[in-house]
């Protein structure tokens, strides 16, 4: 027979602070979902670097809106300074000292054009003598504006459509999804041509094209998550208590859909930037003389064999923006994914 355990009055006394059990200690700080996601995002160095690069591009794009910030006006034509190479004041390095190779020898292009000693263009000029740096900054602002505005339309309409479709279910959901499939089956270029027949070529026609053709992905992702969330216990409890669908959507659905919405938005923006650049490059996007990254690439490729910098600089800017957005979106996806918690 097992020995009897003798209980005394001392057995019921509370433990001292120094004798607390290790299992009762909190091993991690008490953080909200967004705070925990931000903590894990900061550990991703590449995503943080991409975020800083994007912030710098947005700041430069905003500053380019003010003419006083730019050293030269982006649309100012001066044929005297046409096709001048980059020149950085005080730097005597080939490629940025205003010299070109002609006939096997290097010449000072600025002296040959009769430019004064204080005249310089950081990234050179195009075939009409327009400052390439000012045009790249302006083109970046226009490309970012088109992408952000089109993505906001995609965000508002796609999320609303997807939530409503998933919440209703049944025949309503079936009809709304068939409508999405019809829209997705129409080639985007056909939509562009149709809008060009109705609207004049320009920023707003491209925004409408991107918004009309890209919201379907957001709607389908939101609808799939809504179908899963509406069967959760807290949603069923809210419906039992008589809360309206709109209140449930703002109070319960949107907070739980925020990670999917943010991640998809960050992937949509670079796609919109590339699509705008493609349309402008082939001549059916932003019309001249307005600068965009696509029109700059189109102008630069005409002289690429002799003046490659006119195409290289806008191509580098477009590539950096695209890569930064995708790296940042990957970092957000890892930060918001609960399965990656340490």
pLDDT at 176: 93
* pLDDT, tens only, 273-303: 888 888 888 888 888 788 888 889 988 888 8
* Phi/psi of residue 94, nearest 5 degrees: -60, 130
Task: Give the pLDDT confidence score for residue 1 in this predicted structure.
Answer: 47
Lowest mean pLDDT among 1-10, 193-202, 271-280: 1-10
Long-range contacts of 254-258 (CB under 8 A, 24+ apart): 256/225, 256/229, 257/159, 257/163, 257/222, 257/225, 257/226, 257/229
Tens-digit pLDDT profile for residues 140-181: 999 899 888 888 888 889 999 999 999 998 899 999 999 999
Distance from C-alpha of 191 to C-alpha of 127, rounded to nearest angstrom = 33
pLDDT at 285: 80
pLDDT at residue 78, rounded to an integer: 87
pLDDT at 69 over 80: no
* pLDDT for position 85: 87
Neighbours of 38 (CB within 10 A): 12
Residue 187, pLDDT score: 84
Residue 340 has pLDDT above 70, yes or no: no
Gyration radius of the chain's alpha carbons: 29
β 99-102/105-108 pair status: antiparallel
Residue 8 — very low, low, confident or very high, per pLDDT cuts 50/70/90? Answer: low
The DSSP line for 135-184 is HHHHHHHHHHHHHHHHHHHHHHHHHHHHHHHHHH-HHHHHHHHHHHHHHH
Q: Phi and psi dihedrals of 218, rounded to 5?
A: -60, -40
Distances in Å between the Cα of 310 and the Cα atoms of 85, 137, 273, 321 are: 9, 14, 20, 18
User: Alpha helix locations (H) across the chain?
Assistant: 33-43, 45-63, 109-112, 132-168, 170-185, 188-198, 203-229, 233-240, 245-248, 254-282, 293-302, 309-336
In this predicted structure, the answer to whether residue 193 has a pLDDT above a threshold of 90 is no
The answer on pLDDT for 210 being more than 60 is: yes
pLDDT band at 341 (very low <50, low <70, confident <90, very high): very low
Q: Residue 314 pLDDT > 90, yes or no?
A: yes
pLDDT digits (tens, 9 = 90+) for 10-67: 656 665 555 554 555 555 567 776 788 888 888 899 999 999 999 999 998 888 888 7
- Whether the link from the prior residue into 289 is cis, omega within 30° of 0, is yes
CA–CA separation, 243 and 241 (whole Å): 6
Tokens of 122: 């950081």
Q: Within 13 A of 251's CA, how many CA atoms are on the CB side?
A: 11
Q: Please state, in angstroms and as integers, the Cα–Cα distance from residue 85 to each residue in 12, 14, 24, 99, 181, following that order.
A: 87, 82, 69, 7, 50
Average model confidence (pLDDT) across the chain? 83
């Amino acid at each position: 027979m097992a020995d009897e355990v003798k209980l005394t009055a001392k057995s019921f006394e509370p433990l001292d602070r120094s004798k607390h059990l290790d299992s009762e200690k909190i091993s991690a700080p008490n953080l909200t979902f967004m705070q925990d996601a931000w903590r894990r995002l900061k550990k991703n160095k590449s995503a943080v670097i991409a975020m800083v690069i994007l912030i710098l591009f947005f700041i430069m794009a905003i500053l380019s809106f003010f003419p006083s910030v730019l050293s030269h006006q982006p649309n100012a034509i001066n044929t005297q300074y046409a096709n001048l190479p980059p020149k950085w004041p005080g730097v005597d390095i080939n490629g940025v000292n205003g010299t070109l190779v002609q006939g096997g020898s290097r010449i000072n292009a600025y002296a040959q054009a009769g430019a004064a000693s204080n005249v310089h263009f950081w990234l050179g000029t195009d075939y009409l003598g327009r400052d390439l740096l000012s045009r790249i900054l302006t083109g970046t602002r226009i490309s970012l504006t088109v992408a952000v505005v089109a993505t906001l339309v995609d965000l508002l309409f796609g999320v609303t459509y997807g939530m409503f479709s998933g919440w209703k279910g049944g025949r309503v959901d079936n009809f709304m999804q068939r409508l999405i499939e019809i829209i997705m089956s129409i080639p985007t270029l056909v939509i562009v041509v149709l809008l060009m027949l109705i609207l004049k070529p320009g920023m707003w026609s491209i925004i409408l094209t991107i918004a009309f053709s890209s919201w379907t992905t957001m709607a389908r992702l939101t609808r799939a998550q809504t179908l899963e969330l509406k069967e959760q216990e807290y949603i069923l409890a809210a419906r039992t208590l008589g809360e309206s669908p709109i209140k449930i959507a703002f109070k319960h659905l949107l907070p739980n859909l925020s990670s999917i919405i943010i991640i998809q938005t960050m992937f949509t923006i670079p796609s919109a930037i590339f699509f705008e650049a493609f349309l402008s490059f082939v001549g059916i996007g932003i019309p001249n003389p307005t600068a965009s990254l696509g029109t700059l690439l189109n102008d630069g490729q005409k002289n690429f064999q002799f003046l490659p910098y006119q195409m290289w600089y806008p191509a580098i800017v477009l590539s950096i923006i695209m890569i930064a957005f995708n790296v940042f979106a990957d970092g957000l996806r890892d930060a918001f994914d609960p399965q990656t918690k340490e």
